[in-house]
Amino acid sequence: MKTITACTMDCGDACSLLVDDEKRTVRGNPKHPFTKGFCCKKGGRYFERLDADERVTEPLVRRGGGFAPASWDEALGLVADKLDAARAVPESILHVHGHGYRGILGMASTHFFERLGSSTTYGCVCDDTGIEACLRDFGALHHNDPEDILNSDRVVNWGRDLTRSSVHQLALLKRARKNGTEVLSISPGGDGTPEFSDVNVVIRPGTDRFLAAAVLKLFLEAGDLNPWVLTRTANWPALRGLVDGLKFRELCAACEVPPADAEMVYEWYADRGNVATVIGWGLQRHVFGGENVRFINAVAMVSGNVGVRGGGAYFNISSARNFGSWAHLIEGGVEPGERRRLLLQDLGAELRRADPPVRFAWIDGHNVINQVPDSLAVADALAAPFTVVVDGFMNDTAMRADVILPPALMFERLDVLGSCVHNYVNLCAPAVAPRDQARSDFEVLADLGSRLREPVRLPDQEACLREGLKHSNVSLDELRENGFAKVNHPFVAFENMVFGHLDGLYRFPEALHSEPERDPDYPLQLLTVVRGEFLHSQIPESEQRGVPLVWISKANPAYSVLDLSADVYLTTGLGAMQVRVETLDGLHPRAVLMRRGGWMKYGHGANVIIRPMNTDMAFGTAYYSQTCRLENR
């Protein structure tokens, strides 16, 4: 039987899918206006993950040096006892939830642990830096409908590798190009952007704000600014004063973009017609990532391309924006209030410092040891508490748990979810039975809650879904009928230049920070970017054998001195890992490119040598500001 269901992976495309339970095949739903009948490799091959030999499909409890299978009754009984004991000091309980699964029901663990008054995390490993930047500028998180890119005369893509991160946006852009839309991409190179771009500009990683400021400088010098646009801003004089004081050549030098290229970017924005600005997530994973996004938004604004068809600045929308909370339907536990929060991207040190110490940790949908900086510190610190990991794979986090609980994965469980790119909401209907003993996270928590000495009772799933959808124009019945529905949002965001701030005006950034000096001991910069075939660390173990690969340009200063036939090490202030080096044309000479998500247990975990560093906004993680060197030893 074919079921209309949807992908719940952490990806903006949020595909509507047709799953055949007998043939165990996945296809894009042809009726879905965004998914249009195709899906990416990760989704298309998901049965390989569901059926993998290496999948954990029964509860496992640590005994001695290893794990022993246990019944749910035994495993949850043990967990309930530990949780009951820890509840005397609610802060000694820690909940860590990642990006492994999303949805209305996917909020269950967040709400459940809030009712226990547990500690939780703050800060972000993904996109909050850019989101905060957009909130400061626009006052709200909206962008034009993705289909509006078809109305653009030109697209300036600041660092989004659509060939890997979004096959459907890529398809839209290809359609636009057939109709004459031109695309200019700005990135450190070595990515898939040339496949969909007419022109590529190579930039020093982390420095887009200087290129954007150089473009603003040229707008000021040309002097033909749109007065209407400026009246829609609260602080134009501050930005003008700032940019007046900057020198075009120095700005170009700071981002290592030739002045002629910066002039070209200016012309792309200044010419007749509408320009859409696409902003990737990579450029906000730097210490001044937020400022990078704000200066790019400023270019979109000053050039008159915000609030118009064919224009707009696309960073993100919130995938949860169409849903209300159902947390108030839970019975038992404490009323939601202030909680202790540990900084996610420095979790190792935060756990070491925590007072009262964490005695019980629940980790779900997050290969946290692998994905946050200083993986070894996180692994060490998680050895002390009783740790429950809800995951279907024996990854770097699960292998250090005291109890592993096997979740039903996508296609095996129900949920409703949205997208951070488009405005459709999808029903993720169960299309196959959960394998072996796997149970949905929701059911696991409902069962656990009822076993506690003072129970915490989750409502039934249907009630949660209906409550979650209450404030949207979408009903659960409609979703059951079609598999998806579009939520009403304006096609053009901030039309007539009315912004989300109370006064309706736009806000420019008022400071431009210099890039930190290059460290002579670590003159290169490590970019740990997404890989096309897999999501984050959800990589089959068989793909992780041997020494991990990094790429550099032949113009990289390390290239001429390295002996590539001998062992090569990628070294940072935190440690070293052995790598293989290949060359890649077009990559910035100081960049070392690595595809992220490989596991520490195979020597592929880049976060072992990445230091916790904050970005400038929302406690984001500055992974890409990690400096490094390559050496033979």
Ligand X SMILES: Nc1nc2c(c(=O)[nH]1)N[C@H]1C(S)=C(S)[C@@H](COP(=O)(O)OP(=O)(O)OC[C@H]3O[C@@H](n4cnc5c(=O)[nH]c(N)nc54)[C@H](O)[C@@H]3O)O[C@H]1N2
At residue 168, the 3 state secondary structure works out as helix
Q: Does 206 bind ligand X (CB under 6 A)?
A: yes
Residue closer to Mo ion (CB basis): 126 or 257: 126
C-alpha span between 295 and 197 (Å, rounded): 22
Residue closer to ligand X (CB basis): 229 or 414: 414
Residue type, 94: L
Q: Does 392 bind ligand X (CB under 6 A)?
A: yes
Q: Which stretch binds ligand X (CB under 6 A): 78-86, 225-233, 279-287, 378-386?
A: 279-287
Q: Does 615 bind ligand X (CB under 6 A)?
A: no
Rule CB under 5 A: which of 107-136 touch Mo ion? 126
Rule CB under 6 A: which of 518-577 touch ligand X? 527-532, 535-538
Q: Which stretch binds ligand X (CB under 6 A): 137-145, 303-311, 390-398, 516-524?
A: 390-398
Q: Does 368 bind Mo ion (CB under 5 A)?
A: no
Surface-to-core class of residue 487, CB atoms within 10 Å of its CB (0-12 exposed, 13-18 middle, 19+ buried): middle
Residue 538 partner contact from Mo ion, ligand X, none using kind-dependent CB cut-offs of 5 to 8 Å = ligand X
Give the torsion through C-alpha atoms of 374, 539, 49, 364, to 10 deg: 10
Residue closer to Mo ion (CB basis): 126 or 587: 126
**Which strands sit side by side in the sheet containing 415-417, from one edge to the other?**
415-417, 424-428, 484-486
Q: Which stretch binds ligand X (CB under 6 A): 326-334, 385-393, 494-502, 561-569?
A: 385-393
The minimum distance between CB 359 and ligand X, in angstroms, equals 21
C-alpha span between 461 and 21 (Å, rounded): 23
Q: Are 290 and 618 in contact (CB under 8 A)?
A: yes
Partners of 187 in the beta sheet?
202
Residue whose Cβ sits closest to Mo ion: 126
C-alpha span between 117 and 333 (Å, rounded): 8
The minimum distance between CB 560 and ligand X, in angstroms, equals 24
Q: Are 604 and 355 in contact (CB under 8 A)?
A: no
Each residue 35-74 as x (binds ligand X by CB under 6 A) or -, in order, gives -------x--------------------------------
Q: Does 294 bind ligand X (CB under 6 A)?
A: no
# of chain residues touching ligand X (CB under 6 A): 61
C-alpha span between 52 and 32 (Å, rounded): 29
Q: Does 11 bind ligand X (CB under 6 A)?
A: yes
C-alpha span between 501 and 168 (Å, rounded): 32
Residue closer to ligand X (CB basis): 361 or 497: 361
Residue 111 partner contact from ligand X, Mo ion, none using kind-dependent CB cut-offs of 5 to 8 Å = none
Q: Are 138 and 495 in contact (CB under 8 A)?
A: no
The candidate with the shortest Cα–Cα distance to 366, out of 537, 122, 542, 570, is 537
Q: Are 284 and 290 in contact (CB under 8 A)?
A: yes
Residue closer to ligand X (CB basis): 127 or 616: 127
The minimum distance between CB 372 and Mo ion, in angstroms, equals 12
CA distances in angstroms from 43 to 46, 127, 425, 531, listed in the order given: 5, 22, 17, 14
Residue closer to ligand X (CB basis): 146 or 307: 146
C-alpha span between 142 and 316 (Å, rounded): 7
- Please calculate the CA angle 200-206-211 and round it to the nearest 5 degrees: 55
Partners of 276 in the beta sheet?
155
- Report the residue from 32, 102, 168, 285 that binds ligand X according to the rule CB under 6 A: 285
Residue 336 partner contact from Mo ion, ligand X, none using kind-dependent CB cut-offs of 5 to 8 Å = none
C-alpha span between 150 and 171 (Å, rounded): 11
The minimum distance between CB 293 and Mo ion, in angstroms, equals 15
- The alpha helices in 95-202, defined as continuous H runs, are 108-115, 128-138, 162-165, 167-178
At residue 28, the 3 state secondary structure works out as strand
Tokens of 497: 């230049």
Rule CB under 6 A: which of 586-605 touch ligand X? 596-597
Residue closer to ligand X (CB basis): 79 or 229: 79
Q: Does 100 bind ligand X (CB under 6 A)?
A: yes
With the C-alpha atoms ordered 132, 137, 142, 148, is the resulting torsion angle positive or negative? negative
The minimum distance between CB 82 and ligand X, in angstroms, equals 18
With the C-alpha atoms ordered 604, 605, 610, 616, is the resulting torsion angle positive or negative? positive
Rule CB under 6 A: which of 149-188 touch ligand X? 158-161, 164-165, 186-188
Q: Does 623 bind ligand X (CB under 6 A)?
A: yes
Residue 451 partner contact from Mo ion, ligand X, none using kind-dependent CB cut-offs of 5 to 8 Å = none
Residue closer to ligand X (CB basis): 308 or 377: 377
Q: Does 205 bind ligand X (CB under 6 A)?
A: yes
C-alpha span between 327 and 423 (Å, rounded): 24
Rule CB under 6 A: which of 393-422 touch ligand X? 393, 395, 407, 409
CA distances in angstroms from 288 to 24, 129, 214, 515, 570, listed in the order given: 45, 9, 17, 8, 24
The minimum distance between CB 127 and Mo ion, in angstroms, equals 6
The minimum distance between CB 536 and Mo ion, in angstroms, equals 7
Residue 443 partner contact from ligand X, Mo ion, none using kind-dependent CB cut-offs of 5 to 8 Å = none
The minimum distance between CB 540 and Mo ion, in angstroms, equals 20
The candidate with the shortest Cα–Cα distance to 515, out of 426, 625, 632, is 625
Q: Does 387 bind ligand X (CB under 6 A)?
A: no
- Report the residue from 5, 7, 10, 431 that binds ligand X according to the rule CB under 6 A: 10
Residue 527 partner contact from ligand X, Mo ion, none using kind-dependent CB cut-offs of 5 to 8 Å = ligand X
The minimum distance between CB 289 and Mo ion, in angstroms, equals 13
Tokens of 478: 């409609």
At residue 81, the 3 state secondary structure works out as helix
What element of type H or E holds 416? strand 415-417
- Report the residue from 15, 203, 379, 416 that binds ligand X according to the rule CB under 6 A: 203
At residue 210, the 3 state secondary structure works out as helix
Q: Residue 465: phi, psi to the nearest 5?
A: -65, -45
Rule CB under 5 A: which of 417-456 touch Mo ion? none
Residue type, 121: T
Q: Does 251 bind ligand X (CB under 6 A)?
A: no
Residue closer to ligand X (CB basis): 257 or 301: 257
The minimum distance between CB 317 and Mo ion, in angstroms, equals 14
C-alpha span between 52 and 405 (Å, rounded): 17
The minimum distance between CB 257 and ligand X, in angstroms, equals 10
Applying CB under 5 A, the residues found at the interface with Mo ion are 126
Applying CB under 6 A, the residues found at the interface with ligand X are 10-11, 42, 98-101, 125-127, 158-161, 164-165, 186-188, 191, 203, 205-206, 208, 280-283, 285-286, 364-368, 371, 390-393, 395, 407, 409, 441, 527-532, 535-538, 596-597, 606-607, 610, 623-624
